[in-house]
Chains A and B, each alone.
Chain A
Amino acid sequence: MLEVIEAILFSTLDYAPALIFASLGAVLCERSGIVNIGVEGMMRSGAFAAAVAALIVPTGVAVSAGMLAGAGLAAIHAYLSIRWRSDQVVSGMAINLVALAGITFLLESRYSPTGTPPIAQLQRWNLAGVEAIPILRVLSGHSAITYLAVVVALAFHVVLFRTPVGLRLRAVGEKPTAAATLGISVARLRYASVIGSGLLAGLGGAALSTSTLDRFEQHMPAGLGFIALAAMVFGRWTPLGAFGAAAFFAGGNALRIGLASSAPRVLQIVPQGFLLALPYLLTLLVLTAQGTKSRAPAALGVPYEPESR
């Protein structure tokens, strides 16, 4: 029994970073007032770029290529929605479609239809102190990305709620006109957050192809970008909330996979489809319960026009 629990916790820690980074990226973007449903596409490009780069350079360096790819798509999203005040949902959806089909095309023309060749996986760290302690030993043996996810979430929380930059960012997402009267450049902050969210989503994608697995597979990220959005909503648009929700969803997924292999009889009573639907259902219920008291940034999705009041 202990081994089963440990195995589930271990695979949660392996799988969660992708979701955590993507949902942190979504929080960053939406806190500045820009809707980002392109997370899925940014993750996909990040996963692909990191895997391709890792064929040439060391995997640790390749991860940054994934981040840049995510940021590149995010820059397009930012340009369209900030400079040209395009509909942010449309532009995000367009990014998803382009990433879906474009990477299929690249994958097919360069490698094989199913995925890239295997790469050197990110090195796993062994924490010497905890290896003998039951339960706690699951903390050991993950790649740096897992530990980085915790650090980034905490740092993001501190920056957002304890620093002047964070205050400005929140102001821009809540009431951009008020922020602008204080001399804050709404556009510049929004550009920075959208591109930053692309970096994070790209990192999440890279985590999938370099840390969770050892190659890019055609179906990646298989809807994880949308679960990241659910985690963002579930975590009420806060970094720690999104972190917790992402970890919770990842744990649920590991539990489902664990049940399928160790206790298939449970899945005859509760079908897998129900468990797969659960994160989305919970998010929907939370949203319904919050109702109009939802914590979404007030200016979310509203293009900022300096001359309007």
Chain B
Amino acid sequence: MARAADAPGPLARLAQALRIPAGDAFAAVGLSIYAVFVLVALLADVIRPHDPLEILFDEDGNLLANLGMSLAHPLGTTNLGRDIFSQLVVGTRAALLVGLAAAVVVVAIGTLVGLVSGYFGGWIDSVLMRLADIALGVPFLPFVIVLAGFLGASTGNIVLSIALLLWPNTARVIRSQVLTLRERAFVEAARVTGSSTSRILFVHIAPNILPLSFLYGSIAIGWAILTEASVSFLGFGPSNVVSWGYMLQDAYGSQALSRGSYNWFVPPGICIVLVVVAGFFISRGYEEILFPKLRD
């Protein structure tokens, strides 16, 4: 790590920004949780014992409905005889897909707006920051529901609506960082030696704010997964995708609560909690590196 700091090229800085939180205990836990879930998502088809939507029968042709936990069905079955463990495994994929896609879009828009707004200032800055105020003033989940309900329930629309409302948080922080960076000597030097504006922005300033972008990215992943779960729970998720939110909706709608089928509706929630907590922990690791004052 020390060696990377000696050669502060943009690539080395990026690598450094990515590697740093591993030293922090919280961040290490968060990264390991992510690693496990990514592995499960990649190997989902190998791990799952059944097709998540397959209706299962025993040898005598009886529906295997509402089974408890057993070796054959680690988490039991749903009221329609579907294997819950298989659904949970496959659901990892939907969660990570939405989380990562939304985080990438949110951070890309937020970083770009923050860079432009902070560097150019003036009316561009005013317009962009007013837009940010407006986006923050719109109720988040209701907006996602209305958009998903009317434009059609698809993963793409959910990601789009999350991106539309979540970029201002990143943009504001990046902007304030750029405001101080643009007055620094190395930026001044680049300007004097005739570097183009885009070169100053993307080669000289951008690498310095990348860690901040990652910080907001790791928070956005959690937000996106929570949002997707809520939207799917309310019945506005894509109907052909098995996600954790879909499982919870299925359980709620099938009276699993009054039947006390905890094996059905507790595991998906725990998975959501784990992924979101991992994001919190990683961002905490970044924060302690970025803002050492917080470490007490």
A and B assemble together: no
